[in-house]
Amino acid sequence: MNSATPLLEVEGLRKSFAGVHAVDNMSFSVAHNTITGVIGPNGSGKSTTIDCISGFQRPNAGRIRLDGRDITRLTPQKIAKAGLIRTFQTVHIYEAMTLRENLLQAARPFQASGWVADFLRLPGMRREVDAAMVRADELVDMIGLRKYYDAPTRILSYGQKKLVALAAGLMPKPRLLVLDEPVAGVNPTRIREIEEVILNLHAAGESFIIVEHNVEFVMRLCERVIVFVGGSKMTEGDPKSVQQDARVLEAYLGIPA
């Protein structure tokens, strides 16, 4: 797609639960090579929106396009293969496996060769495995955890586990990685480390959407911030303009605009 096509376009998204609209008329777009933050008070539709764009919920209406391709209502697996991967609020990694094994495992669903090629160690499979090893090697350095590469991930701190989940999401080289609350429950020192890692990955060409309750973290990291209120987009802009928007203060603090 040409660079004028947004990386992600969400248009008129609606998702209802038992007749109640969790998300309604939600529209926004995300540019290539950006870190975009999504903030909003509790119940504003953040989780429902990312569940819809990643295929974990089926929207009732609206369109979602990834780099121009319609991905509305595809399964999570197909959306991931199209290039949109998400992490979860709770860390989804294999704690009994090493960090290296976690990263290699994350690449497997995206490898074209099937189990027969794998079993027979055919050259196509070998090439894919070698490429995954190179990618894992790059990523373990990017997240600063090389000394734990061959350790079971259960020994890592919660913040380090979040970094492993982030790196696992990047293994198949997605076009866009959606991070669902990447610093929730993480101590402040580790938050700074995660911030640094995301900035370095962005400088290396990765694009992110960050959905977070920690507004300060989002404002420091993101070049564009989208604010959800009541199931739709209330406003968006650069961090400074969003922070100065009286409606945002009202939505968060109940201070009348």
Ligand X SMILES: Nc1ncnc2c1ncn2[C@@H]1O[C@H](COP(=O)(O)OP(=O)(O)OP(=O)(O)O)[C@@H](O)[C@H]1O
* Residues in contact with ligand X by the rule CB under 6 A: 17, 22, 40, 42-48
Q: How far apart are CA 192 and CA 198, in angstroms?
A: 10
Lookup: tokens for 155: 């020994």
CB of 16 to ligand X, least distance (A): 9
For ligand X, the closer of residues 31 and 184 by Cβ is 184
For ligand X, the closer of residues 40 and 83 by Cβ is 40
CB of 241 to ligand X, least distance (A): 21
Q: Give the CB-nearest residue to ligand X.
A: 22
Kindly report the backbone phi and psi dihedral angles of residue 254, in degrees, each rounded to the nearest multiple of 5, phi listed first: 75, 15
CB of 48 to ligand X, least distance (A): 3
For ligand X, the closer of residues 128 and 180 by Cβ is 180
For ligand X, the closer of residues 45 and 169 by Cβ is 45
* H helix intervals, 25-154: 46-53, 76-82, 99-107, 115-120, 123-142
CB of 17 to ligand X, least distance (A): 3
Q: How far apart are CA 85 and CA 199, in angstroms?
A: 18
Residue 167, burial from CB neighbour count under 10 angstroms (0-12, 13-18, 19+): buried
For ligand X, the closer of residues 47 and 87 by Cβ is 47
Q: How far apart are CA 146 and CA 140, in angstroms?
A: 5
The CB-based long-range contact list for 187-192 (8 Å cut-off, 24+ gap) reads 187/159, 190/157, 190/158, 190/159, 190/160, 191/159, 191/217
For ligand X, the closer of residues 16 and 105 by Cβ is 16
For ligand X, the closer of residues 84 and 106 by Cβ is 84
The DSSP letter of residue 180 is E
Lookup: tokens for 138: 């790059």
Lookup: tokens for 218: 């989002």
> For tokens 């990834």, what's the residue?
66
CB of 50 to ligand X, least distance (A): 8
